[in-house]
Amino acid sequence: MGVEISDSQATNLQSLTRLLEEGVEREYFPGAVAMVLHRGETVFEQAIGWAMVRPEQRKCRCDTVFDLASLTKVVATAPAVMMLLEEGRFRLDDPVAMYIPEFASDEGKERVTIRQLLTHTSGLPAWIQFYKSQEDGFHNGDALSAVLRHPLETPPGQRAVYSDLGYITLGHLVERVSDLSLDVFAAQRIFQPLGMTDTRYGVASEDQGRVAATEFCPHRDRVVCGEVHDENAASMGGVAGHAGLFGTARDLAIYGEALRLGGEYQGVRILSRATVDLMTSRQTEEGSGGGRGLGWVRFSRKLSAGGDLVSNEAYGHTGFTGTSLLIDPEKDLVCAVLTNRVHYGRDNHHILRFRTIFHNVAMAELT
What domains does the chain contain, in order, with CATH numbers? 7-73+184-366 (3.40.710.10), 76-180 (no CATH)
Position 12 scores a pLDDT of: 61
- Burial of 207: CB neighbours in 10 Å, binned 0-12, 13-18, 19+: middle
Reduced to 3 states (helix: H, G, I; strand: E, B; else coil), residue 47 is strand
**Cβ(124)–Cβ(161) under 8 Å?**
yes
The one-letter amino acid at 68: L
Which one, of 9, 178, 3, 5, lies nearest residue 85 by Cα? 178
Position 74 scores a pLDDT of: 98
CA distance 257 to 288: 26
Position 16 scores a pLDDT of: 96
Cα R_g (the chain), whole angstroms: 19
**Cβ(309)–Cβ(330) under 8 Å?**
no
Helix H segments across the chain?
Answer: 7-12, 14-25, 71-72, 78-86, 114-118, 143-148, 164-178, 182-186, 192-194, 231-235, 249-260, 273-279, 351-366
The one-letter amino acid at 106: D
Number of H helices and number of E strands within the chain?
13, 16
**Cβ(290)–Cβ(300) under 8 Å?**
yes
For the beta carbon of residue 258, count every other beta carbon within 10 angstroms.
25
Q: How far is CA 321 from CA 69, 213, 230, 318, 350, in A?
A: 6, 10, 9, 9, 12
CA distance 333 to 78: 22
CA distance 231 to 250: 26
The one-letter amino acid at 328: D
Pairing of strands 297-298, 200-201: unpaired
Q: How far is CA 288 from CA 17, 72, 153, 303, in A?
A: 29, 22, 21, 6
DSSP secondary structure, 157-173, as one string: TS-----HHHHHHHHHH
Helix H segments across 13-138?
Answer: 14-25, 71-72, 78-86, 114-118
Q: How far is CA 149 from CA 110, 143, 144, 145, in A?
A: 12, 10, 9, 6
Q: With residue 152 as reference, give the H or E element that holds it.
A: none
Q: What is the pLDDT along the chain (367 residues), one digit of tens a residue?
A: 544 444 444 446 899 999 999 999 999 999 999 999 999 999 999 999 999 999 999 999 999 999 999 999 999 999 999 999 999 999 999 999 999 999 998 889 999 999 999 999 999 999 888 776 544 445 555 778 888 889 999 999 999 999 999 999 999 999 999 999 999 999 999 999 999 999 999 999 899 999 999 999 888 889 999 999 999 999 899 999 999 999 999 999 999 999 999 999 999 999 999 999 999 999 987 654 458 999 999 987 766 789 999 999 999 999 999 999 999 999 999 999 999 999 999 999 999 999 999 999 999 999 7
CA distance 188 to 153: 36
Position 119 scores a pLDDT of: 96
CA distance 254 to 199: 11
Q: Is the pTM of this model over 0.85?
A: yes
